[in-house]
Amino acid sequence: MMKAIMATKRILITGGAGFLGSHLCDRLIADGHDVLCVDNFFTGSKDNIRHLLSHPRFELLRHDVTFPLYVEVDQIYNLACPASPVHYQHDPVQTTKTSVHGAINMLGLAKRTRARIFQASTSEVYGDPEVHPQPESYWGRVNPIGPRSCYDEGKRCAETLFFDYHRQHRLEIKVVRIFNTYGPRMHPNDGRVVSNFIVQALKGEDITIYGDGQQTRSFCYVDDMIEGFVRMMHSPADFTGPVNLGNPGEFTMLELAEKVLKIVGGKSKLSFHPLPVDDPKQRQPDIRLAKEKLGWEPKVCLEDGLKETVAYFRRVLER
């Protein structure tokens, strides 16, 4: 395990009321830091951080990162951006602006305050890959004009900006590429496969399978992902990334559906639909770099993580 960083830092988290952001808020507060959570609540929710609102080391600011922000901080985690197809395709122009203008504004803040800055990039920078599993050295196969490109290319451009600021202005940057992550506080209507399957099963509805269900994904539990974030932020300054964070366990959509139905029970059936445009057929991270540089690898198996996530969605649907 890495040594804990004892000195209290002022840490900004953009997208801090979202799924990953709220768990990161919890972790950094628990580690003894002062946290400024910034969110415009397009996909984030106050329910995710309500338990922190009265905490003396937590502050919430409603703000859109496409506009400049003037605060004093030691570290910045830039997580702001809709991350599910349903949400990022709802307003694709705003999605691209959030990735690109948001990166420019946060990098400008980091330049002024000399803060170390972390970019939550995505496995979608690899597009529909021809290399499997995907190493960080793979440049990707992305459609630049498709319905998903607002997110894929926005994140690719943000990575470009981070590395240009690093080279030109000597900023300390940390870039991670996040593979599918799941767990409590996922949005029930975000269109992602784990939340889709669980909500449909709990409601007794048919499980929606796109294509033949043989396309694969790798699923990382949220606690493992947050541990990777923190280790990356605390890694030596000369290690910029990008680094893949995800669980290399690979499952077909049919296998995931079977696991969800086994946990939930009920009598939901499978319903097959056409595959969405540019939907990747394979997704699996090569995490050798994370193991080598961060001493990180996932600990939570899919079955255990799904049980926690199902329990969360049961509570949400009973409200």
Asked if 115 and 173 count as a contact pair (C-beta separation under 8 A), the reply is no
Closest CA to 162 of 174, 144, 149: 174
| Residue 163 CB neighbours (<10 A) | 17
Residue 292 phi/psi, 5-degree rounding, is -70, -50
Residue bearing tokens 């049980």 = 307
DSSP characters over 294-312: H-----S-HHHHHHHHHHH
CA–CA dist 31, 300 (Å, integer): 21
What value, to the nearest 5°, has the Cα angle with vertex 235 and ends 84 and 71?
65
Question: Which residues, listed in sequence order, are joined to residue 250 by a DSSP beta bridge?
Answer: 218
Residue whose structure tokens are 């139905």 = 261
First-to-last C-alpha distance (Å) of the chain: 39
Distance (Å, whole) CA 293 – CA 163: 19
Enzyme catalytic residues:
151
| 174 and 235 Cβ atoms separated by less than 8 Å | yes
